[in-house]
Amino acid sequence: MVKTLLSFRILKMFIFFLFAILSNVSIAQNTGTFRGFVIDSLSGEALAYANVFIKKIEIGTSTDSKGYFIITSLPSSDDYKAEISYVGYKKKIVSFKIFSNKITDIKIFLVPSEIELQTIEKTGRIFYGENLTNIGIQKLSAKRINDLPKGVEGDIFRSLQYLPGIQTTNDISARFHVRGGASNENLFLLDYIPIYNPFHALGLFGSIDPEVIKNVELHLGGFGPKYSGRLSSVIKLITKDGNRNKYTASFNSSLMSIKSSVQGPFKGGSFIVTGRKSYSNKILNNFLNDDNIPIKFYDLFFKANYANEKIMPNGKFSIEAFSSGDNIINNNPLLADAKWTNNALGISWFQFVDKPIFYTIDFSFSNFEGEFIPNSSGEKPIKNNVKDYTAKMNISYVYASKDQLSAGVKFKDVTTELLLQNSFGQRANIGSREDRANVNMSLFAKYKLLRFNNFALDVGTRLNLIGLSKNGKNRYFEPRVSLSYNLSEKLSYKAAWGIYQQEITTFTDEDVVITYFEPWIITPEYLIPAKAIHYITGFEWNYSGNLSFSIEGYYKTISNLPVLNERKVFITDNDFVSGSSKAYGVDILFRYNHSLFSFTTSFSHGYVNKSANNKTYISRYDIRNSLKAILEFNIYKGWKASATWIYYSGMPFTLLAGFYDKLHIDNPNNMSSLLGPQIVTPLLGKRNASRLPEYHRLDFNISKRLDLTFVKIYLNFSIINVYNRKNIFYFDINSGKRVNMLPFLPTIDVKIEL
């Protein structure tokens, strides 16, 4: 209780100090501020990462994920012209004036261009803002995701696998691993709402429909103190606001599901509603080695926004909800069933005031429930329930010098339930205890030094006042630093370092080939929460807006890593032991863009070692070399084509050394069972000491957009594994049978937009 009261006092002092600073800041004399939003003229959607460049003084910035930009310290009493540009849109020149100690607000509407691959010229220009010191960040637009080959369904997470530093262990799952980290080390945010299991159909693809996504931010590591709770990466899915100008509807059908969406304006705002439901699972047999698994799924999304200048000037209020569900019902008592759901709700308020200050206040609820029902199959039941209530506030101030001060506070209440049963029929709940609060209270502060043209520094920390895990330190710091130095107009050096802690983990064995879902729990009291340290460094070269090259090296260590206890016998034995991990490597990315085509290729080389259960071994995620290439064409009058080629060196696996007879005891109280049957049991060799053959695959996609009088029709045809490469998935441990990944697989997708 004393520690809790002290934590609240620290929090109160922090908030008072922060508002005291911000309430007394002032804009420099004889200068003013230029800020505003960049918006799609047709739909009214904000355009994230658009470039705003002021020609007269050769300086510019980029919009954030909300389409918002701000440039301070512009000399007053002058006329200016700003050039606004964004991929797939026509450039626009706007004129504006700056007044002393005033803020000039403007909304800029861009018109979409017919040529969508054309990029933006940046040579010799000075850009500053949120993106300058960012390292290890990749961004994808909804248009880019739609143009890539599809595996039955257009999918966000499968599209991310084409980026460097992203590895997947098979074609079957959309789950991925970032720079050697486990999949449970990735934080998935639907805007600001954490989603614990964002996957459909055994993880084959994401449960979040690409139709609702505007942009995707992927933080590969070294992310700032604004984010917390995961060790490896942050995947932020930025959703659409809905069309602010007119009502539109769309209908989409693939070989597995049907979906529809409706969006449009209302007085002071806009909304979007989408829904998807499966109607057939036959095509999934190609993913599941001809096994017929009766998978049924659905997902729903709703978002409404309100921004009325008369009622809430310079502010925006939004509410959104998400729901998804999967069911595997075999209608056979000898086969197990499974089901899992996600339900989430979020409320957000974004506001900027008369001074160059803006802030957001977010409230969210996220609930995941999963259950494995064995029936009479002989399997063990599993039931998992996670409830997450989060409230947070972030505030930023932009100084006249262009420096930025940001700070925030977050409250998170998480409860988990995980019911398991051992071989003797004993059941136990290894989730969080009900007799104590599972609350995380934390705050962060960072200062971004942007006053110099060639150097930028972002330094800050997150302070956790109260931890979810009882054994975690109540007050611990997570300091983080990133910097950027322009060696020339075209070449820059970037680096980042940081400490990260994760208090929630999954009860999952990395050697299991396919899982229904990953059960979540708070780190048990007998373990210290996992901690990671990131070291990242690299160079970025931009010859022009059309040609770029980057190289990043990383070194990541993880201590106190929860690993399944392989020696657990009795129900009183701990389910986890503490382990460690080390990952290091290099990621290279090359891009060339032309008005008619674009070419992207990446190469990753890395190592992942793991220590647990008194063993040190190569991790299953240790894929030494990977090469990915994407070629995209704007053909003619709405025709587009793309081809992707992926190469992985062989993944580690544990070789089968032989078999032995194992005594099976049904009832330990019945001595006659000692004379019972013996089971032929596989004997495994040294863990992950062998490697599978190399993997490679070519995918192809062609699409056509038909613009009719009152309707638009989008046709997509994809071929997965064009040359039918027989990539090995795994060897069945009991029969020794080889199981391959996806064969040659054509798919088609049709979308009608009214």
* Residue with the two structure tokens 């569900």: 325
* pLDDT confidence tier of residue 439, bands split at 50, 70 and 90: confident
Classify domain 137-235 at the CATH class level: mainly beta
> Mean pLDDT across the stretch 692-701?
89
Average pLDDT over residues 11-31: 56
**Contact at 8 Å (CB) between 670 and 618?**
no
**In the predicted model, is pLDDT for residue 640 greater than 70?**
yes
Whether residue 14 has pLDDT greater than 80: no
Percent over 90 (pLDDT), the chain:
22
Distance CA 328, CA 288 (A): 14
Q: Which of 41-45, 63-67, 283-287, 694-698 has the highest mean pLDDT?
A: 694-698
Q: What is the pLDDT of residue 419?
A: 85
Q: How far is CA 640 from CA 213, 254, 597, 632, in A?
A: 21, 19, 10, 7
Instruction: With a cut of 50, say whether residue 573 has pLDDT above it.
Output: yes
pLDDT at residue 83 greater than cutoff 90: no
Buried/exposed 108-133: b ≥16 CB within 10 Å, e otherwise: bbbeeeeebbbbbebeebbebbbbbb
Residue 669 clears pLDDT 90, i.e. is over it: no
Q: Of the ranges 23-37, 147-161, 297-311, which one carries the lowest mean pLDDT score?
A: 23-37
Structure tokens of 403?
């420096």
Highest mean pLDDT among 84-88, 660-664, 733-737: 84-88
Beta pairing, strands 745-753 & 738-740: unpaired
**Over 60: is that where the pLDDT of 651 sits?**
yes
Q: Is the pLDDT of residue 128 over 70?
A: no
**Separation between Cα atoms, residue 662 and residue 73, nearest integer Å:** 77
Whether the per-residue pLDDT at 499 is higher than 50: the answer is yes
Position with higher pLDDT, 66 vs 5:
66
Q: What is the mean pLDDT of residues 659-666?
A: 58
What is the average pLDDT value for the chain, to the nearest integer? 81
Higher pLDDT, 448 or 740: 448
**Structure confidence at residue 614 (pLDDT):** 81
| Structure-token pair, residue 569 | 């016998």
- Least confident residue range of 7-11, 318-322, 499-503, 602-606: 7-11
Confidence of residue 568 (pLDDT cuts 50, 70, 90): confident
Domains of the chain: which residue ranges? 27-128, 137-235, 655-688
CB 200 within 8 A of CB 324: yes
What pLDDT does 749 receive? 82
HEC profile of 391-435: EEEEEEEECCCCCEEEEEEEEEEEEEEEEEECCCCCEEECCCCCC
Q: Residues 329-350: what's their mean pLDDT?
A: 89
Radius of gyration for the chain, computed over Cα atoms and rounded to the nearest angstrom: 27
CATH of domain 27-128: 2.60.40.1120
Binning the chain into helix, strand and coil, the percentages to the nearest 5 are 5, 55, 40
Amino acid 304: pLDDT: 94
Residue 500: the pLDDT is: 94
Kindly tell me if the per-residue pLDDT of 157 is higher than 60. yes
Using DSSP, state whether 675 is helix, strand or coil. Answer: helix
User: Which pLDDT value is given to residue 320?
Assistant: 95
How far is C-alpha 606 from the chain's CA centre? 21
Strands (E), 565-707: 576-593, 597-612, 615-618, 625-636, 639-648, 652-653, 656-663, 678-684, 690-691, 695-707
Range with the poorest average pLDDT among 192-201, 296-305, 618-627, 662-671: 662-671
Which of 351-365, 429-443, 656-670 has the lowest average pLDDT?
656-670
H/E stretch holding 9 reads helix 2-23
Is it the case that residue 41 has pLDDT exceeding 70? yes
Q: Coil, strand or helix: which one is 692?
A: coil
> Looking at the predicted structure, is the pLDDT value of residue 425 above 70?
no
What confidence category does residue 60 fall into, taking pLDDT thresholds of 50, 70 and 90? confident
pLDDT confidence of residue 124: 36
The arithmetic mean of pLDDT across residues 640-650, rounded, is 89
Q: Average of pLDDT values for 122-128?
A: 43
Residue bearing the bigger pLDDT, 310 or 2: 310
Sign of the alpha-carbon torsion through 172, 176, 182, 185: negative
Lowest mean pLDDT among 28-32, 110-114, 544-548, 559-563: 28-32
Residue at token pair 């490679």:
696
How do residues 576-622 score in pLDDT, each as one tens digit?
Answer: 888 899 999 999 999 888 778 889 899 999 999 988 878 888 888 88
Average pLDDT over residues 147-168: 78
Model confidence band, residue 438 (pLDDT cutoffs 50, 70, 90): confident
pTM: 0.87
Cα torsion 312, 45, 175, 285 to 10°: value is 130
137-235 and 27-128 share a CATH fold? no
The answer to whether residues 486 and 492 touch, using CB atoms and an 8 Å cutoff, is: yes
pLDDT of residue 396: 87
SS3 assignment, position 671: helix
Asked if 129 contacts 450 with a C-beta cutoff of 8 angstroms, the reply is yes
Q: pLDDT, tens digit, for every residue of 617-638?
A: 888 888 899 999 998 888 877 7
Instruction: State mean pLDDT over 63-74.
Output: 81
- Per-residue pLDDT tens for 90-123? 888 888 888 887 888 888 888 887 544 443 334 3
Asked if residue 574 lies in contact with residue 566, where contact means CB atoms within 8 angstroms, the answer is no
Measured CA to CA, the distance from residue 76 to residue 538 in angstroms comes to 39
Structure tokens belonging to residue 38 = 């960049």
**In this structure, how many other beta carbons lie within 10 angstroms of the beta carbon of residue 748?**
13
Q: Which residue has the higher pLDDT, 666 or 279?
A: 279
pLDDT in tens, 214-270: 888 889 888 989 999 999 999 999 999 888 888 989 888 887 888 999 999 988 889
**pLDDT of res. 659:** 62
pLDDT tens, residue by residue, 257-311: 889 999 999 888 899 999 999 887 777 666 666 566 778 889 999 999 998 777 7
Instruction: Specify whether the CB–CB gap between 465 and 410 falls below 8 A.
Output: no
Give the integer Cα–Cα distance in Å for 697 and 644: 8
Q: What is the mean pLDDT of residues 388-411?
A: 89
CA–CA separation, 440 and 448 (whole Å): 26
The total number of residues written for the chain in this structure: 754
Instruction: Give the per-residue pLDDT at 120.
Output: 37
pLDDT for 280 equals 77
Q: How far apart are CA 424 and CA 673, in angstroms?
A: 13
**pLDDT-based confidence at residue 27 (cuts at 50, 70, 90):** very low
* pLDDT given at position 165: 86
DSSP at 46: B
Residue 332 pLDDT: 82
Q: Which pLDDT value is given to residue 110?
A: 86
